[in-house]
Amino acid sequence: MEAGAGDNKNKRHTLNVETSVIAYVFLALFLALTAYFVYFMVFKSEDFINNPANPRVKGFEKLVTRGEIKAADGTILAQTVTSNGKEVRQYPKGREYAHVVGYNTNGMSGIESDASFYMLRTHSFLLNRVVNDLKGEKNPGDNVVTTIDSKLQSRAYYGMGQYHGAVVAIDCNTGGILSMVSKPDFEPGSVTANWKSLTTSQDSVLINRATQGLYPPGSTFKVITVLSYLKNGGKLTDTFDCRGSYTQDGYTIHCFDGEVHGHQTLSQAFANSCNVAFSQIGLSLPKGALKRTAEQFLINKSIPSKISNINKSRFTLKNSDPKALVMQTSIGQGNTLVTPLQMASICEAIANNGTLKAPFVVDHIENDSGRLVRKFDTQSQKLCSAKDASTLKNLMRYVVTNGTGRVVNTSSYTAYGKTGTAEFSSNKREAHSWFIGFAQKGRKKIAVAVIMEKGGAGSSHAAPLAKSLFDTYLR
Amino acid sequence: MLHLVTEISRLTFIVIFAVYTYDCFAALKRHTSEKREKRLYSQQTSMIYLFLINGNLLLFFNNSDTKIFAMGLAEIVFVTIAMIIYKKIYEMASPAVVNNMCMLLSIGFIMLTRLNQAKALRQLLFACIALIITCFVPLFLGNVKLIKSLKLFYIVAGILLLAVVAAVGATTYGAKINIQIGSIAIQPSEFVKILMVLFIACMLTNDISRKQVFKTVVLCCLMILILAYSKDLGNAMIFFLTLLVMIYAATQKPSYLLYGVLLFAAAAVLGYFAFSHVRTRVTAWKDPLSVVNSAGYQICQSLFAIGSGGWFGTGLYQGMPKRIPVVDTDFIFSAISEELGGLFALCLIFICIANFLMMFNIALKINNRFYKLIALGLGSLYASQVFTTLGGVTKFIPSTGVTLPLISYGGSSLMATMLLFAMVEGLYQYRGVKEETDETQNYEDTYRRQMENERSGQDGSWRR
């Protein structure tokens, strides 16, 4: 024991305990650094690699032939072919997929931009790669398989006709985007040639209206107003009297087309899209309540999606705002602006008992011979309770069976929806035609948002197109 | 064809460095027989040569420039001479330290040649000069009296040098770091670090009274404040950590560590609210992509590089490391990770870990308290510098811009680090030296006096 005591004294004298402590502290710091480095490489690096500000992605083009973009059924939407020793990017489906697929030049857009990194990586068979390297040839890049349903896309695209506007359709079971159309469109293969006219056009042709278009929601916003009302003490059986118009502080709100709805319950007022009832509802809500409900549905917030360039929908209503603005805001006019993707996401969440499965369009990456390289994780976010979702479902069902959405009603599947006619200028004849909703048949569920600019009443233009989408998908 | 060679090389680089790293840790293990150790070290040496040959061949294939061929040869000659000299001068030299120094220098040479040939050549010249200078380190280290007599010089020179930089230094990336003399930019803080370690060791070897500790802390903090004033936050942090470690070790009081951490936290919070440039760096650290075109540009470029390179790297010349600002100095780790691969970068981290562990290990073996403190201080200096730079470029901590020892371009940094390595080797050589009797006496006296003070203090309070 004597020796032990001597050792101790010696240790104290020689500072060995302190030296060890210091060594271990530094070692711990470095191990944490190492662990973080590994964590970054495995989980975080992708966010950085895919960032458009990363100059490297373009550099891969020297070694790899850009991969293809495909619809869910394998239809080729974009491919690179070599003619006369020059690589050309072709878009076999052209304008139909212009915005969702995007273009590969002039700063890129759509999937061409978002998935650029993957298309310039190669997971081709190793031996192929060695042979290609020896021959000095490029390797084939990986292919991007999207969630787009080519039949639905074609129906949506041609259904829009000459109207400007957008269609978004989402598979409620996954969050996968089945169709995304924006009009007016452009020829993606000749963006460079037409760059000047495309960028200077009055119609903002290059803007993807489905994700970036900010429209007044019109009556489709009543989905939010009605939930806000019910959460703040309102009941479905509350009654309202509609005489066709309602005046407060010298401002008068009319029901659409001068209709008079008379005595009606809340459900009926929602189904009839009664502006008078909803103006009264808006005025009765506590301050800030409408904003809270709107933000609960991600208005003013970001939709959790890997699709880039999604505009945030906007809602503002200050406590000091006059009654006129409160009334307008409650019926979806005022300063509120939403994207079609926003409204489709809200419908998807309602269809999913309040949980939003984050919308995405790139399903997986495969190599040139079709072997899976990478499947992407899906995220989800709770937007409202299952009870609230079920209430909204019933209300939206009633719109289809007894209200402004009757044109969608059919016995072959169960449809839910809300129409909207959004005024955007003082010219009341020019209004945007909206339909948002979802439909179910067995396990198949689809949510849609359709907007036709200057299409007039939602029930007459947007709703029939939505129905044809439901018909196509749920056949 | 060139592409295929590059593809194969990126694997051989990783294999060579992985074998090297394995050898390094296998030799570090406690119960390694001398024979096995010898074998491991000679295998390490072959790996250094293989790495240099592989790297230079690839550089040559890519540039077909005969100058690269000549430089490659010069590098091999340099490494050989360095190993011979160190074995000659330091009779009991630790081969592990020499090997690691040569390996890291080689990585620096190859990477710098790829990034900027002219700078690589200058780096090689600096390394040669440093090699000559470091030959005299053992002479200096052997003369304890001389080292101790220069106590005042260390601190006065340190403070003056830093003050000169703060006053007339050239501003690079917002911080004043260099003094420009003719065409040469000198970075005094790299040398002042070592002066500080010597100063603290002189101050606290024989006297660890509260007053003496206070004096040491005040004088060193003056240097740290000057660095903070020059906005050289990275070095301020390195100085502070080293000071803290040495105070703790010399006094053997863990409470100093606690005070130090509290002081550091307070300074960090104060700095955050008082200085906009501190806030900018924290913003860039928290979410660099949101400020990718302003404050976060540099760190984003670094992470783009590291991420895009992946585990196996893009291969030399296949990445875009030049997009990263100051890639050849502060951000060279990102370039290495991009082109040589994340696995290579991991091995690099491990070698740095091995380096400071060896330094602390040497400190453990030294009997002489003065030398021990110096070894400890140098080890902490190295560890905190590597941690600051690697943590910064990988976004583990906010980026502060300090060099990666032995790899980053820069004469001052290279010379100071080689000096540091040489001093550690020298100390290893003197590990057996006992303290002179009178010194031991002194130390013992102080120790006894202090214990008595403590005891009487306790008694006093007990009586009351």
How far does Cα A78 stand from its chain's mean position? 22
Smallest Cβ–Cβ distance between A41 and the set B342, B356, B384 belongs to B342
State the SS3 of B202-228.
Answer: HHHCCCCCHHHHHHHHHHHHHHHHHHH
Which residue numbers of A have CB closer than 8 Å to B's CBs?
12-23, 26-27, 29-30, 32-34, 36-38, 40-41, 44-49, 51, 53-57, 59, 63, 130, 133-134, 136
Q: CA B389, CA A122: separation in Å to the nearest integer?
A: 33
Cβ atoms within 10 Å of B344's Cβ, excluding its own: 24
Residue A90's pLDDT band (cuts 50, 70, 90): very high
Question: How far away is chain A from the Cα of B94, in angstroms, using its nearest Cα?
Answer: 19
What pLDDT is stored for residue A9 in this prediction? 46
DSSP label at residue A95: G
The residue-averaged pLDDT of A34-54 equals 88
Average pLDDT, whole number, for chain B? Answer: 87
The answer to whether B289 contacts A37, with C-beta atoms less than 8 Å apart, is no
Q: Best of A14, A26, A122 to disrupt the B interface by mutation (most B CBs within 10 Å)?
A: A26
- Inform me whether the pLDDT recorded for A8 exceeds 90: no
3-state secondary structure of A171: strand
Q: CA B389, CA B457: separation in Å to the nearest integer?
A: 45
State the SS3 of A47-64.
Answer: HHHCCCCCCHHHHHHHCE
- Inform me whether the pLDDT recorded for A359 exceeds 70: yes
**pLDDT (tens digit per residue) in B178-204:** 887 777 788 999 999 999 999 999 999
Q: Are B233 and B389 in contact (CB under 8 A)?
A: no
Residue B30's pLDDT band (cuts 50, 70, 90): confident
Q: Is residue A145 part of a domain?
A: no
State which amino acid sits at residue A145: V
Mean pLDDT lowest among A309-318, B79-88, B172-181? B172-181
Q: CA B137, CA A203: separation in Å to the nearest integer?
A: 76
State which amino acid sits at residue A139: N
- Inform me whether the pLDDT recorded for B217 exceeds 80: yes
Q: Which residues contact A126 (CB under 8 A, 6 or more apart)?
A: none
What pLDDT is stored for residue B461 in this prediction? 36
Q: CA A33, CA B349: separation in Å to the nearest integer?
A: 9
Q: Which residues contact B276 (CB under 8 A, 6 or more apart)?
A: none
Q: Is residue A303 part of a domain?
A: yes
Q: CA B229, CA B225: separation in Å to the nearest integer?
A: 6
The residue-averaged pLDDT of A456-464 equals 81
Q: How many angstroms separate the Cα of B440 from the Cα of each of A152, A366, B431, B434?
A: 90, 73, 16, 9
**pLDDT (tens digit per residue) in A177-191:** 999 999 999 999 888
The residue-averaged pLDDT of B342-366 equals 94
The answer to whether B248 contacts A18, with C-beta atoms less than 8 Å apart, is yes
What pLDDT is stored for residue A167 in this prediction? 96
**pLDDT (tens digit per residue) in A244-254:** 889 988 888 88
Q: CA A163, CA A204: separation in Å to the nearest integer?
A: 14
3-state secondary structure of B60: helix
**pLDDT (tens digit per residue) in A215-224:** 999 999 999 9
3-state secondary structure of A423: strand
Q: Is residue A320 part of a domain?
A: yes
Q: Which residues contact A366 (CB under 8 A, 6 or more apart)?
A: A142, A143, A145, A372, A373
Q: How many angstroms separate the Cα of B339 from the Cα of each of A342, B133, B234, B320?
A: 42, 33, 26, 9
Which residues on neighbouring strands pair with residue A171, listed in sequence order? A446
Both structure tokens of B351: 């070698």
Q: Best of A16, A21, A48, A132 to disrupt the B interface by mutation (most B CBs within 10 Å)?
A: A48
Residues of B in contact with A51 (CB under 8 A): 289, 292, 300, 304
**pLDDT (tens digit per residue) in A300-324:** 998 998 888 899 999 998 888 888 8
**pLDDT (tens digit per residue) in B392-402:** 999 999 988 89
Q: Are B423 and B431 in contact (CB under 8 A)?
A: no
Q: Is residue A174 part of a domain?
A: no
Residue A426's pLDDT band (cuts 50, 70, 90): low
**DSSP result, A63-88:** TEE---EE-TT--EEEEEEEETTEEE
Residue B278's pLDDT band (cuts 50, 70, 90): confident
3-state secondary structure of A106: coil
Whole-model pTM: value is: 0.73
- Inform me whether the pLDDT recorded for A151 exceeds 60: yes
> Count of residues for chain B?
464
**Phi (first) and psi of residue B185, to 5 degrees:** -105, 120
The residue-averaged pLDDT of A443-471 equals 89
**pLDDT (tens digit per residue) in B129-171:** 999 999 888 888 888 888 888 989 999 999 999 999 888 877 7
Q: Is residue A237 part of a domain?
A: yes
How far does Cα A270 stand from its chain's mean position? 25
Residues of A in contact with B363 (CB under 8 A): 19
Residues of B in contact with A13 (CB under 8 A): 369
Q: Are A329 and A217 in contact (CB under 8 A)?
A: no
Q: CA B4, CA B15: separation in Å to the nearest integer?
A: 17
3-state secondary structure of B234: helix
Q: CA A205, CA A196: separation in Å to the nearest integer?
A: 12
**pLDDT (tens digit per residue) in A432-453:** 899 999 999 999 999 999 999 9
Q: CA A398, CA A266: separation in Å to the nearest integer?
A: 11
Q: Are A328 and A141 in contact (CB under 8 A)?
A: no
Top-confidence residue, A171 or A422: A171
Q: CA B141, CA B136: separation in Å to the nearest integer?
A: 9
Q: Are A195 and A106 in contact (CB under 8 A)?
A: yes
**DSSP result, B253-279:** -HHHHHHHHHHHHHHHHHHHHH-HHHH
Q: Are B393 and B305 in contact (CB under 8 A)?
A: no
Q: Which among B283, B243, B236 is positioned nearest to B260, based on CA atoms?
A: B243
Which residues on neighbouring strands pair with residue A246, listed in sequence order? A253
The answer to whether B307 contacts A46, with C-beta atoms less than 8 Å apart, is yes
Q: Is residue A114 part of a domain?
A: no
**pLDDT (tens digit per residue) in A253-280:** 888 878 888 899 999 999 999 999 999 9
Q: Indicate if the alpha-carbon torsion angle A57, A59, A60, A64 is positive or negative.
A: positive
Q: Which among B348, B344, B340, B347 is positioned nearest to B317, based on CA atoms?
A: B340
Both structure tokens of B66: 């005969």
Angle at the Cα of A53 from the Cα atoms of A48 and A58, rounded to 5 degrees = 95
Please list the alpha-helical segments (H only) found in B29-94. 34-63, 66-89
DSSP label at residue A176: B
Residues of A in contact with B289 (CB under 8 A): 47-48, 51, 53
Q: What are the percentages of helix, strand and coil residues in chain B, rounded to 5?
A: 80, 5, 20
The residue-averaged pLDDT of A20-43 equals 95
**Phi (first) and psi of residue A173, to 5 degrees:** -70, -25
Q: Which among A462, A470, A475, A471 is positioned nearest to A160, based on CA atoms?
A: A462
Residue whose entry in the numeric block shows the structure tokens 């400890």: B376
Q: Which among A285, A313, A302 is positioned nearest to A227, based on CA atoms?
A: A285
State which amino acid sits at residue B301: Q
Q: Is residue A43 part of a domain?
A: yes
Q: What is the CATH number of the domain that holds A224?
A: 3.40.710.10
Q: CA A221, CA B458: separation in Å to the nearest integer?
A: 77
- Number of DSSP helices (H) and strands (E) in chain A, helices first: 19, 19
* Enclosing domain of residue A293: 218-361+378-473
Question: How far away is chain B from the Cα of A117, in angstroms, using its nearest Cα?
Answer: 9
What pLDDT is stored for residue B438 in this prediction? 42
Work out how many domains chain A is built from and give that number: 2
State which amino acid sits at residue A144: V
**pLDDT (tens digit per residue) in B88-109:** 887 666 788 889 999 999 999 9
DSSP label at residue B143: -
**DSSP result, B164-193:** HHHHHPEEETTEEEEEEETTEEE-HHHHHH
Residue A128's pLDDT band (cuts 50, 70, 90): confident
**pLDDT (tens digit per residue) in A393-414:** 999 999 999 989 999 999 999 9
Smallest Cβ–Cβ distance between B357 and the set A23, A46, A59 belongs to A23
Nearest-by-CA chain B residue for A134? B1
* CA end-to-end span of chain B: 88
Q: Best of B62, B253, B303 to disrupt the A interface by mutation (most A CBs within 10 Å)?
A: B303
Q: Is residue A160 part of a domain?
A: no
The residue-averaged pLDDT of B234-247 equals 94
Q: Which residues contact B280 (CB under 8 A, 6 or more apart)?
A: B295
- Inform me whether the pLDDT recorded for A423 exceeds 50: yes
Residues of A in contact with B390 (CB under 8 A): 33
Smallest Cβ–Cβ distance between A48 and the set B307, B353, B390 belongs to B307
Peptide bond into A184 cis (omega under 30): yes
